[in-house]
Amino acid sequence: MRKPEPVQVVKQRRDAALERLIQSMPYSRFLGIQFDRRGDELTAVLPFKDDLIGNPILPAIHGGATAAFLETAAIVELAWSMIWSDIEGEEPQGVKVRLPKTIDITVDYLRSGLPRDAYARARITRAGRRYASVHVEAWQDNRERPFAQATGHFLMPSRDG
């Protein structure tokens, strides 16, 4: 049996891979989306800022910003699952960022997004070679009271090349 790797080496490898993935998407940087990692589980974080507001009277987060946040969480989850098998698989290899393409996404707005940080977790409900389905839920103060959810279909990048 192989000797277990030192924990710092493992963390550094995973964090660096995640960082490369996130940095590869200018629009999620523009929105300020961050990712919190626990093992292979990701939580997308959208820190509140004024230019996310869509309704200044309420005030509420713009539906488009919410949609972009959910779509980003879904794309990163899919890309991350591919990276994870690359770096943690039987024969580890270098990080290669390949982003899936959105075919369609349906967003349900359950409550208005309050002017504070939002969180999202994506669950891959089907991962095929070419097509994948993802469900995403976003919440703010209370995990049990999501303010938006989405289901999307994605075209997966080819595994080779």
Q: Which residues contribute to the site for another protein (CB under 8 A)?
A: 24-31, 50-57, 60-65, 67-69, 71-72, 75, 99, 101-109, 112
Give the residue from 108, 102, 80 showing the smallest Cα distance to 17: 80
Report the alpha-carbon distance of residue 13 to residue 37 in Å, rounded. Answer: 12
Least distance to another protein, CB of residue 50, Å:
6
Report the alpha-carbon distance of residue 91 to residue 126 in Å, rounded. Answer: 24
Q: Which is nearer to another protein, 13 or 153 (CB)?
A: 153
Q: Which is nearer to another protein, 2 or 130 (CB)?
A: 130
Q: Which is nearer to another protein, 9 or 155 (CB)?
A: 155
Q: Which is nearer to another protein, 10 or 149 (CB)?
A: 149
Least distance to another protein, CB of residue 161, Å:
12
Q: Is the dihedral of CA 81, 29, 60, 54 positive or negative?
A: negative
Least distance to another protein, CB of residue 69, Å:
7
Report the alpha-carbon distance of residue 35 to residue 73 in Å, rounded. Answer: 9
Least distance to another protein, CB of residue 45, Å:
15
Least distance to another protein, CB of residue 68, Å:
2
Q: Which is nearer to another protein, 67 or 87 (CB)?
A: 67
Report the alpha-carbon distance of residue 63 to residue 53 in Å, rounded. Answer: 9
| Neighbouring residues of 161: CB distance < 8 A, sequence distance ≥ 6 | none
Residue 155's identity, in one-letter code, is: L
